[in-house]
Structure 1
Amino acid sequence: MKWTFSFLTGCTLMIVLSLTSCTQLAVFEKDTSIPQYQWKSSFEVKGSFDVTDSAAAYDSYLVLRHTDAYKYNNIWLDLAIQPPGDTMHHQKIDMPLGTDANGWLGTGMNDIWELRQLHFKGAHFKKPGRYNFIITQIMRDDPLPGIMSAGFRLEKQ
């Protein structure tokens, strides 16, 4: 009886793993830790991703992790994206992190909060190739305390 239960459990696990391993998620995410949770305006969160299907639509997200001690309800960011063979295109973004009435947005555990905010839904990239990005904080505080990490996420629809 023990052997049968173990055998069936093992077979079920193998079937589930084989079915889930066949589906490949078209997701890119790069998060960068902020040294000592003090984000200097000169510190750049950098990365690059490859676009192979320029006909597809993509959703892009900004990802931010902060402590409960962060003293603002938002953060201003400069997001720069460089298409292949082109110059950087900058966009200033006011990213809400919480409200006085409802508290922090996103998910939290103890005093750490993470927010994945949709930046652009259904974006189409003009040409395939390597795209570079840079995220910097453009708040008045320099360094900006309480920010643990920042990043960029891209999902193919």
Structure 2
Amino acid sequence: MKALFILGMSIILFASCEQKAFYEENTVIPTQKWDYDFTPEFAVHISESQKSYDLFINLRHTAFYPYANCYVLLRQEGAGLKDTAIRYELKLAELDGKWTGNSAGNLYEHSNLIQENITFPDTGKYVFTIEQNMRDNPLIGVNDIGIKLISK
């Protein structure tokens, strides 16, 4: 009986230990129309250069977003990094058109893992910039965009 109680408590504790975000910030897209010129920046202060992180891009859109995906360019700048711009595809819907992610009414929220186990070469400030990279300008139906870093 005691062993069963300990096992049950261990499962509950393990299940409740979600990884907390080291950094998470989202920026609202004005009037839900994401223009090429609107490139939100996210400044992250890294205090431990040996720590690894998982990097996510957060995106919230309305049911009126016209596509099943969204292409973005992510730029990373900081001490010891080359200025890079990498294109990512964020999957937002299944092939049958059903939205993925969490929904609240007419709003759908996605958190897409784009890089695992990244490390930073030095301590200090690192800036991430996100640019929409779709054919439409402005891109309608995007509510907000952001990044999340989870420490490992």
TM-score scaled by structure 1? 0.80
* Segment drifting more, 71-80 vs 45-54: 45-54
Amino acid at match of 1:150: I
Identity of matched residues, %: 29
Cα deviation 1:31-64 (Å, max 9, x = unaligned): 0000000000110111110111111110110000
Contact 2:80 2:122 in 1 (8 A): no
Which of the pair has more CA radius of gyration? 1
1:148 aligns with 2:151: no
User: Where does residue 60 of structure 1 map in the other structure?
Assistant: 55
Choose which of 121, 129, 137 in structure 1 pairs with 2:124: 129
User: Where does residue 16 of structure 1 map in the other structure?
Assistant: none
Q: Tell me how far apart the structure 1 counterparts of residues 85 and 62 of structure 2 sit (CA, whole Å).
A: 27
> How far did 1:121 drift?
1.3
- Could you tell me which runs of 5 or more consecutive residues in structure 2 were left unpaired when the two chains were aligned: 1-19
- Could you tell me which runs of 5 or more consecutive residues in structure 1 were left unpaired when the two chains were aligned: 1-24
User: Where does residue 101 of structure 1 map in the other structure?
Assistant: 96
Q: How does 1:1-157 map to 2 (within 5 A)?
A: 25=20, 27-84=22-79, 86-101=81-96, 103-157=98-152
- Count of matched residue pairs: 133
